[in-house]
Amino acid sequence: MTIRIKRVYEEPAEGDGERILVDRLWPRGMSREKAIFSEWMKDVAPSTGLRKWFDHKPERWAEFQARYRQELKDNPALDDLRRRATHGTVTLLYGSRNTDFNHAAVLAAVLKTTTD
């Protein structure tokens, strides 16, 4: 089982495996024709309230991670994603410009600790 994260704007690679968009909102400037992924799992993304509160501010990162992990605890969409991850490589796609502080990094860490 391998879990990767990648910006949705990056070109697909042979090793991506199943590519899943994990944003609640459609990525800016990305046409539906150019988007290459197998599924859009909106429900595994942070809630609108949490996303807006975080606003990709580094000083809120630690608190964001804790709040998002709490949201994921009772999220049935996480169970579906976890099942997919046990069957091979999964690449979580996100739209954020910030490659260090984004929800896909948290989601990948959660999946890695619960599927190992």
The full DSSP string for 98-116 is: -SSS-HHHHHHHHHHHHH-
Does residue 5 sit in helix, strand or coil?
strand
- pLDDT band, very low/low/confident/very high, at 34 (cuts 50, 70, 90): confident
Tallying the residues shown for the chain, one arrives at 116
Q: Which domain holds residue 32?
A: 2-115
More confident residue, 93 or 116: 93
| C-alpha dihedral sign at 76, 106, 21, 91 | negative
* E-state strands within 22-88: 39-40
The stretch 87-99 carries a mean pLDDT of: 93
pLDDT in tens, 40-56: 999 999 999 999 999 98
Based on the structure, what is the number of domains in the chain? 1
Q: How far apart are CA 39 and CA 91, in angstroms?
A: 11
- pLDDT band, very low/low/confident/very high, at 74 (cuts 50, 70, 90): confident
Place of tokens 């996480």: 78
> Could you give the maximum distance between any two Cα atoms of the chain, in Å?
36
The stretch 49-78 carries a mean pLDDT of: 95
pLDDT in tens, 103-113: 999 999 999 98
Q: pLDDT at position 115, please?
A: 53
Q: Is pLDDT at 1 greater than 80 in this prediction? A: no
Q: Is pLDDT at 32 greater than 70 in this prediction? A: yes
The stretch 74-88 carries a mean pLDDT of: 90
This prediction's pTM:
0.93
